[in-house]
Structure 1
Amino acid sequence: MDLIIEPEALAAQLEHEELLVVDLSTPQNYAAGHIPGAIHLPFQALMAGTPPAPGKLPSVERLTQVFRAIGLKPEHHVVACDDEGGGWAGRLLWTLEVIGHRNYSYLNGGMHAWRAAGLPLSTDAVEPVPSEIDIAINPAPAMDAEEILQHLEDQDFLVWDARSPQEYTGERVAAMKAGHIPGAINCEWTQLMDPQRDLRIRTDAREFLAKLGIDDRHKIVTHCQSHHRSGFTWLVGKSLGFDIRAYPGSWSEWGNLPDTPVEQ
């Protein structure tokens, strides 16, 4: 399966025994109708939840519990979806990358696209069969604040800020300090979604980003406030073949550290 999969292509694969569909929609939306066989995963399970940087990864022990609980096995191909255009689904796929499970896809447009295509929905509760998977953390898909600081002067390094323009400029304050990482380029995550195509990734994403200066000539790290919105921008960059990593500490950490530089 491709990294980005369309609803009709997924529908044709639903009976495959090595397929694991994981839905990160709200509990209410999941209960109202989900892809048949899809397992619900609350997004909170993917985050440490500890102030001041709640978006950091949980411990390996906690992640092991989470992935065992949803029944993940090494042979599974995971398809992630959500009800908001890809943030939480992207966060899950990034987490799979971190634990070395690279058989995964994103349902393009998530449940918006699935519903719009008129494909089957189920309201049956899905009880996953727990697995015994063991995982380890591979730090390569992530960057921390210290590493970002070391690369800020590199010509081929780029920070992609997925927050709103108001957060980027410092007009909206969501930490001790307001503004952005020096040199960061702002492209709000929703700008990569096409509302005319049920929130699928826009077809001109590469050209759109290139006009902003975000392209495959750079080594990119993306962030938001807690690595939720940047779960989607990481996914888009990955789909375009970019050398892209994520900063899970995000602005909630950077903006609260005493010595990190800030621009407005």
Structure 2
Amino acid sequence: MPSDQILLVAVCAEEVFFNHHIPGSVLIRPAELVSGIKPATGKLPNAKHLSTIFSRIGLSKEKHVVAYDDEGGGWAGRLIWTLDVLGHHNHSFLNGGLVAWINEAHPISSGIAEQEPSDYVAQIDRSVVVDLGDVLSQIGDSDSIVWDARALEEYTGTKVTALKNGHIPGAVNLDWLELIDHDSNLRLKPLDILKRELESLGIDNNKKIITHCQTHHRSGLSYLVGKILGLDIKAYDGSWSEWGNHPDTPVER
């Protein structure tokens, strides 16, 4: 693939990007991928906002986006989910991201890179997005399963993160951090291991899968892993910040 057709995108804090990034990368700040509107701050921004962000980094239909971050894949996965929402499926995930790149002594750039802007017009396809009503309607459906990617104490409700705490009835829990090999520069664990672990929880290609966390940041990685494994997976971007603060949602503990 010609290098001018590759768009390297780092999703990280501006300070991190300024100090070290992969040469040729452009920056998307994590806050630019979410609406920021309380209580469900992680919901998808509107098309106008997304058009502005992706025009700034020079996205076009011909570009192959390589997404990475500095944390193991949460924000990179959120970017890939956003691209899927926009119908831009021409993308890859840099396994290990910036941590592996630096630790394995690859070239590094610093400063804020300029990118030739484009005139990108975002068109939202909600086929990989579910809302609160969709999640409610699947409760008790044996063909569907909710993958809660939060920490165990959030899932059990012992950690308070909303007005109501616990989990969506019937949801299973696999912490997003369990997807990462912390002894391999934050690369994903081998896919056969991830597949077996998910299958042990009932997450397989016979189910329609909905994933979430608190704000659909951590579940960016669970969405990405599901896609890599060929699962039928969508994301609930309202996540627990919406579910746990809504007066009419059922909660299990």
> How does the TM-score come out when normalised to structure 2?
0.97
**Equivalent residue for 1:51?**
38
* Aligned mates of 1:249, 1:83 — CA distance in 2: 24
Contact 1:83 1:110 in 2 (8 A): yes
Contact 1:34 1:122 in 2 (8 A): yes
Counterpart AA for 1:256: N
* Aligned mates of 1:135, 1:56 — CA distance in 2: 16
* Aligned mates of 2:204, 2:122 — CA distance in 1: 32
For 1:224, which of 213, 223, 244 is the aligned residue?
A: 213
Contact 1:26 1:83 in 2 (8 A): no
Q: 1:102-137 CA distances to partner (integer Å, 9 max, x unpaired)? A: 000010011111112221111143111110111211
| Percent pairwise identity | 49
> Can you give the 5+ residue segments of structure 1 that lack an aligned partner in the other structure?
1-12
Contact 1:156 1:217 in 2 (8 A): yes
Q: 1:37-78 CA distances to partner (integer Å, 9 max, x unpaired)? A: 000110100100000000001111111111111110110000
User: What CA RMSD, in Å, does the superposition of the two structures yield over aligned residues?
Assistant: 1.1
* Aligned mates of 1:73, 1:80 — CA distance in 2: 15
User: Within the alignment, does 1:39 sit opposite 2:36 as a pair?
Assistant: no
* Aligned mates of 1:50, 1:124 — CA distance in 2: 30
* Aligned mates of 1:186, 1:166 — CA distance in 2: 10
User: Within the alignment, does 1:147 sit opposite 2:148 as a pair?
Assistant: no
Counterpart AA for 2:144: F
Counterpart AA for 1:183: G
Q: 1:11-62 CA distances to partner (integer Å, 9 max, x unpaired)? A: xx7x611000000122222122111000011010010000000000111111
**Equivalent residue for 1:84?**
71
* Aligned mates of 1:55, 1:29 — CA distance in 2: 22
Counterpart AA for 2:120: I
* Aligned mates of 2:6, 2:207 — CA distance in 1: 34
Q: Write the mapping of 1:152-171 to structure 2, written as runs, cut at 5 A.
A: 152-171=139-158
* Aligned mates of 2:134, 2:203 — CA distance in 1: 20
* Aligned mates of 1:18, 1:155 — CA distance in 2: 43
**Equivalent residue for 2:166?**
179
The number of aligned residues is: 251
**Equivalent residue for 1:192?**
179
User: Within the alignment, does 1:126 sit opposite 2:110 as a pair?
Assistant: no
User: Within the alignment, does 1:238 sit opposite 2:227 as a pair?
Assistant: yes
Contact 2:140 2:170 in 1 (8 A): no
Counterpart AA for 2:159: R
* SS of match in other structure, 1:21: strand
Question: Displacement of 1:213 after TM fit?
Answer: 2.1
> How does the TM-score come out when normalised to structure 1?
0.93
> Can you give the 5+ residue segments of structure 2 that lack an aligned partner in the other structure?
none
* Aligned mates of 2:86, 2:13 — CA distance in 1: 24
